[in-house]
Amino acid sequence: MATTLPLKLTRIGNSRGVRLPAGEIRRLNLARAGIVAEIRPDGLFLRPGRSAKLSWGETAQDMVAAHEDWSDLTAASADGLDTI
């Protein structure tokens, strides 16, 4: 079930911005990843963006989360390149 978070628009120069609670920024790692806005027919959907450069640990976590199948990679061990 989705949780709603009421937000207010804040004046930033000639524009308007949305202020997010610091706890949510930390929880979603928004300080590093940034935010992507998707415009949908029923409204605006905000989600964490992608950080410019992932660490090895973050890359491994993304691979596990994506349930990638690397089982065919073991076939490469029979290519004879390990004896070079």
CATH number at residue 27: 2.10.260
* Domain ranges, residue 13: 9-72
Share of the chain above pLDDT 90, in %: 17
* Residue 51 covered by a domain: yes
* Residue 19 covered by a domain: yes
Pairing of strands 35-40, 43-48: antiparallel
* Residue 14 covered by a domain: yes
* Residue 52 covered by a domain: yes
Number of domains in the chain: 1
pLDDT tens digits along 49-68: 876 566 788 778 877 888 87
Global confidence as pTM: 0.49
pLDDT tens digits along 13-31: 999 998 899 998 888 888 8
How does residue 77 score in pLDDT terms, banded at 50, 70 and 90? low
* Residue 27 covered by a domain: yes
- Whether residue 16 contacts residue 10, with contact meaning beta carbons closer than 8 Å, is answered with yes
- Whether residue 8 contacts residue 19, with contact meaning beta carbons closer than 8 Å, is answered with yes
How does residue 40 score in pLDDT terms, banded at 50, 70 and 90? very high
